[in-house]
């Protein structure tokens, strides 16, 4: 029976397993215990579309630097383990039929390039354009390619013929994030960490210092340090510490459907339609996304569209509006006409998803909490799979007192103590960086 630990990681979603990995494997902390009441990675972290990107239009270069670091770590882990989580470099493709949107993509790409994404290349034909590879991530271009007119239509023939431009972001793609999480957990356990299936019901704190974790089974684990990685249950867990954290929840649905007609090339990038779409007289914002994913049948597609961003109370299981299926299919058929026969054809697909747990400026909370020995790695919003590696590294450095990267203060919970920062982010909004 485990009764004491050097660090207890509270939650085994992708944030918790990445934190445990960096503590146990990279920082060589002796007795790391990860506690979760569920099977690891089964609340939010197995519901994502599993995309990653070094595309961060601002307001500054903080998120680009942070997620680029995470992609560096993802690549290193993939390289060391035979690409066990099938990380690819197919890119993100933002497509449009609007001249004004082509102009906006050009301007935004120049800005993101200035933050460090890499160069932007423009193409009116395909002579100098390097297409992506279906698998793997090595030896691929960085930056982005802006394809215009026929060049865009020839490179991506399954997209609508009225498309006039497409921006292909190259240090981007998809992966199997559950395999990634399983690998990080397995490496942690091999380095001496332990997983405990239990529910955390409270913390022992004396003189403002963490002393231990209380569990539903009645057993306690004494520890001087805890990492709160509770995903959308962060309110509940920080309340046990007598704290309140400034996070909120949006519910996001994704639809997994089969594509037996082969409407989409299987090696397609993560495609995003950058124009608004009207469905049944209802104008919906730009941003319907589609990616191929190989599941049971090997012909599945995942669709997601962030058109509902109302704040929600956490409830599990979440309830999704069944009309989402039709809306997602219609939106997708706007950019991929060969998907039109699936609308209303009884193609049901699987509608699931989870919560984006986020701060008011949509930047994670990683760092010390105002109780000695308490740390947080959370509020990973819709970017937790791509950013978890760097988030885990950062919280592990906070725990061990290691040298912090330059972006550390931007994620520290104490940033809200700075009145100038609080008034600055009023202008940003909670959808900053959200596609």
Using rule CB under 6 A, residue 45 touches ligand FAD: yes
Q: Which is nearer to ligand FAD, 129 or 305 (CB)?
A: 305
CA 358 to CA 174: how far, in whole Å? 22
Using rule CB under 6 A, residue 12 touches ligand FAD: yes
CA 27 to CA 37: how far, in whole Å? 26
Residue 10 backbone zone (phi > 0: left; psi -120 to 50: alpha; other: beta): beta
Residue 247 backbone zone (phi > 0: left; psi -120 to 50: alpha; other: beta): beta
Q: Binders of ligand FAD: how many residues, by CB under 6 A?
A: 39
Which parts of 138-253 fold into alpha helices (H)? 150-155, 177-190, 234-240
Q: Could you tell me the smallest distance in angstroms from the CB atom of residue 52 to ligand FAD? A: 6
Using rule CB under 6 A, residue 146 touches ligand FAD: no
CA 252 to CA 416: how far, in whole Å? 27
* Segment interacting with ligand FAD (CB under 6 A) among 35-43, 275-283, 341-349, 407-415: 35-43
> Do residues 204 and 45 make contact, with C-beta atoms less than 8 angstroms apart?
no
Q: Could you tell me the smallest distance in angstroms from the CB atom of residue 410 to ligand FAD? A: 17
Residues in 46-105 that interact with ligand FAD by CB under 6 A: 47-51
Rg of the Cα atoms in the chain: 22
Using rule CB under 6 A, residue 257 touches ligand FAD: no
Using rule CB under 6 A, residue 16 touches ligand FAD: yes
Residues in 165-224 that interact with ligand FAD by CB under 6 A: 199-200
Q: Which is nearer to ligand FAD, 15 or 159 (CB)?
A: 15
Residues in 345-384 that interact with ligand FAD by CB under 6 A: 353-354, 378, 380-384
- Of 144, 141, 137, 146, nearest to 71 (Cα)? 137
> Do residues 301 and 291 make contact, with C-beta atoms less than 8 angstroms apart?
yes
**Window 280-319: contact mask with ligand FAD (x via CB under 6 A):** ------------------------x---------------
Which parts of 96-176 fold into alpha helices (H)? 99-112, 150-155
User: What does the block give as tokens for 136?
Assistant: 């793997």
Q: Which is nearer to ligand FAD, 83 or 238 (CB)?
A: 238
* Segment interacting with ligand FAD (CB under 6 A) among 114-122, 230-238, 394-402, 415-423: 230-238
Q: Could you tell me the smallest distance in angstroms from the CB atom of residue 127 to ligand FAD? A: 32
Binder of ligand FAD out of 5, 7, 35, 329 (CB under 6 A)? 35
Q: Is the dihedral of CA 29, 30, 36, 39 positive or negative?
A: positive
Q: Which is nearer to ligand FAD, 91 or 353 (CB)?
A: 353
CA 359 to CA 324: how far, in whole Å? 26
Task: Let me know if 423 is exposed, middle or buried by CB neighbors in 10 A (0-12, 13-18, 19+).
Answer: exposed
Q: Which is nearer to ligand FAD, 229 or 286 (CB)?
A: 229
Q: Which is nearer to ligand FAD, 155 or 383 (CB)?
A: 383
> Do residues 242 and 202 make contact, with C-beta atoms less than 8 angstroms apart?
no
* Segment interacting with ligand FAD (CB under 6 A) among 38-46, 154-162, 164-172, 307-315: 38-46
Q: Could you tell me the smallest distance in angstroms from the CB atom of residue 162 to ligand FAD? A: 27
- Of 142, 50, 148, nearest to 99 (Cα)? 148
CA 39 to CA 296: how far, in whole Å? 21
* Segment interacting with ligand FAD (CB under 6 A) among 29-37, 107-115, 150-158, 342-350: 29-37
* Segment interacting with ligand FAD (CB under 6 A) among 1-9, 140-148, 225-233, 260-268: 225-233
Site residues (CB under 6 A) for ligand FAD? 11-16, 35-38, 43-45, 47-51, 199-200, 229-233, 237, 252, 254, 304, 353-354, 378, 380-386
């Amino acid at each position: 029976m485990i009764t004491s630990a050097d660090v207890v990681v509270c939650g085994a979603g992708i944030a918790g397993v990445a934190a445990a990995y960096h503590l146990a494997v990279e920082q060589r902390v002796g007795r790391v215990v990860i506690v979760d009441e569920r099977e690891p990675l089964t609340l939010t972290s197995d519901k994502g579309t599993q995309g990653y990107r070094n595309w961060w239009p601002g307001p500054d270069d903080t998120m680009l630097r942070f997620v680029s670091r995470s992609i560096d770590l993802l690549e290193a882990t993939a390289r060391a383990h035979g690409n066990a989580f099938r990380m690819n470099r197919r890119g993100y493709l933002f497509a449009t039929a609007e001249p004004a949107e082509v102009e906006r993509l050009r301007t935004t790409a120049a800005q993101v390039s200035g933050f460090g994404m890499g160069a932007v290349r423009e193409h009116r034909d395909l002579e100098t354009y390097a297409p992506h590879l279906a698998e793997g991530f090595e030896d691929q271009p960085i930056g982005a390619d802006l394809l215009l007119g026929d060049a865009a239509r020839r490179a991506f023939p399954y997209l609508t013929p009225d498309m006039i431009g497409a921006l292909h972001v190259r240090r981007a793609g998809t992966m199997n994030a559950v395999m990634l999480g399983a690998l990080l957990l397995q490496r942690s356990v091999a380095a001496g960490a332990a997983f405990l299936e239990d529910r955390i019901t409270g913390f022992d704190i004396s003189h403002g210092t963490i002393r231990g974790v209380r569990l539903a089974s009645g057993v306690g684990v004494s520890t001087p340090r805890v990492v709160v990685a509770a995903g959308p249950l962060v309110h509940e867990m920080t309340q046990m510490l007598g704290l309140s954290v400034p996070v909120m929840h949006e519910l996001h649905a994704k639809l997994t459907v089969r594509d037996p007609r082969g409407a989409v090339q299987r090696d397609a990038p993560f495609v995003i339609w950058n124009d608004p779409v009207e469905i049944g007289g209802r104008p919906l914002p730009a941003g319907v996304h589609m990616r191929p994913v190989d599941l049971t049948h090997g012909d599945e597609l995942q669709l997601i569209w962030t058109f509902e961003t109302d704040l929600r109370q956490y409830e599990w299981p979440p309830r999704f509006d069944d009309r989402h299926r039709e809306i997602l299919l219609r939106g997708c058929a706007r950019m991929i006409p060969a998907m039109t026969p699936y609308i209303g054809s009884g193609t049901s697909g699987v509608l699931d998803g989870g919560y984006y747990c986020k701060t008011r400026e949509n930047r994670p909370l990683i760092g010390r909490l105002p109780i000695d020995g308490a740390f947080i790695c959370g509020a990973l919003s819709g970017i937790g799979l791509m950013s978890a590696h760097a988030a885990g590294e950062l919280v592990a450095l906070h725990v061990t007192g290691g040298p912090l990267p330059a972006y550390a203060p931007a994620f520290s919970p104490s940033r809200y103590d700075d009145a100038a920062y609080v008034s600055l982010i009023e202008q940003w909004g909670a959808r900053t960086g959200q596609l």
